[in-house]
Amino acid sequence: MRTRTAPAPQAVAESVAAASWLLDRGASAVYQKYCSTFDSTDEGTIGPVADALLDLLGPGAVAVGTPATPRAGRTQYQGHLFVGDRLLSESPLRHHPLTPMTDPDLVRVLGRQTPRGVRLLPWGALRGPDAGAALARVADGGVGHVLADAVTDEDLDALARVVGAGGDPRVDGRPVLLGGAAGFAAALARSWAHDAAEPADAPAPRASRGRALIVSGSCSARTREQVDRFPGPRVPLDADALAADPDGALAAVLDALRAAYADGPGPVLVSSSADPDAVRGTQERLGVRRAAAVLERAAGEVAARTVRDLGVGRLLVAGGETSGAVAAALGLGVLRVGPAAAPGVPWMVPVDGPAVAVLLKSGNFGGPDLFTTAWEACP
């Protein structure tokens, strides 16, 4: 689902439908995934979606989570989110083209999106002698949302033990909606795997070793650095050209890709990534939503057509919205997770669908040379 920048009613409807499908098939826990930088405007979707999922889970349900993903440099302390050693509001995320993050106080940010109470589980309480009792006190009195501090993976493991033991998350008997980014999800998986029976060995994911393509739509500082470091051939995605003549501009991109692959299997970079000033100029000319829509549509079409027609079997996609567009265009459903190219950045292979290995990364994840080094881990 692509709900981060969707209108709230659409995001709520799609999220509730997905959660209902899971619960009807026996799921014992629901996890609301959001970005490790909590990307969401005051009119955003994190609060409305969480409220709808709490209603689905039943009376007394409480949401507990954190966006902290320390391995990726995302930590939360005293309710404030840090990107590396900078407050969120002082990081490049303040220039995000769709969800500019200018307030680092997540209790305050979430509080503007929900009528339910929002409270903080501070780091000292989480790592204190009785974190379970501390969480119950914070969640007491009908509070709907608890955001937890975490500055290390050990903090995330502590939160997972307190709230998610046995795969049936509860706080003082109340059902829990789990939420957060990749860091907390991984901690829950570690906790539940420790409690579960040893699983049978699954076959290693395999995919075609065809041509390699990078589709970059993120305008984050890290992705722009990755684009700058990439030494191979590049084909631009131009929003103005795509808006004026979608079919003609897309045909020109595909022709340029055919020419690039004549010299070898790639990787080749197709990119709309740009600096904040250039993004603002495009948005002023086309409008924010239209600029995003034409680029996302083109990214999805490029990925689908190159996999189908040009023999692309290895596909790296940079940017959350771009990844969603590509996944939808390819018709990706169930994916088997394979080796990681960087923390929080795994290769995946569809269980059913096109024979292509995909790496779908958040704009700010991965090292500066990821576009060059990621292929070493590709299954």
| Domains of the chain (ranges, CATH numbers) | 8-195 (3.40.50.10840), 211-377 (3.40.980.20)
| Residue-level pLDDT at 7 | 84
Q: Which stretches of the chain are assigned E, i.e. beta strand?
A: 31-33, 62-66, 74-77, 80-83, 86-87, 118-121, 145-148, 170-171, 174-180, 211-216, 234-236, 268-271, 312-318, 335-342, 345-350, 357-361
The pLDDT, as a whole number, for residue 142 is 80
Is the Cβ–Cβ distance between 239 and 286 less than 8 Å?
Answer: yes
Residue 1, pLDDT score = 54
Collect all residues with Cβ–Cβ distance below 8 Å to 123 and sequence separation of at least 6: 77, 78, 149, 150, 151, 155
Residue type, 299: A
Q: CA dihedral defined by 25, 357, 299, 70, rounded to 10 degrees?
A: 70
Q: What stretches in the chain show pLDDT beneath 70?
A: 1-2, 98, 165-166, 194-208
Structure confidence at residue 201 (pLDDT): 55
- Bridge partners of 360, per DSSP, are 317
Query: What's the rounded Cα separation, in Å, for the pair 214 and 233?
Result: 10
Q: What is the pTM of this model?
A: 0.73
Here the tokens at position 246 are 């979608």
pLDDT at 162: 92
Look-up of token digits 């924010």:
288
Distances (CA, A) of 157 to 109, 196, 197, 371: 25, 16, 19, 31
Strands, sheet with 312-318, edge to edge from the N-terminal-most edge strand = 234-236, 268-271, 211-216, 312-318, 357-361, 345-350, 335-342
The phi and psi torsions of 199 (rounded to 5 degrees) equal -75, 160
CA–CA distance, 94 with 182 (Å, rounded to integer) = 21
The pLDDT assigned to 165 comes to 65
- Could you tell me which residues are beta bridge partners of residue 91? none
Please state, in angstroms and rounded to a whole number, the distance separating the CA atoms of residues 44 and 11.
9
- Which pLDDT belongs to residue 203? 55
pLDDT at 368: 95
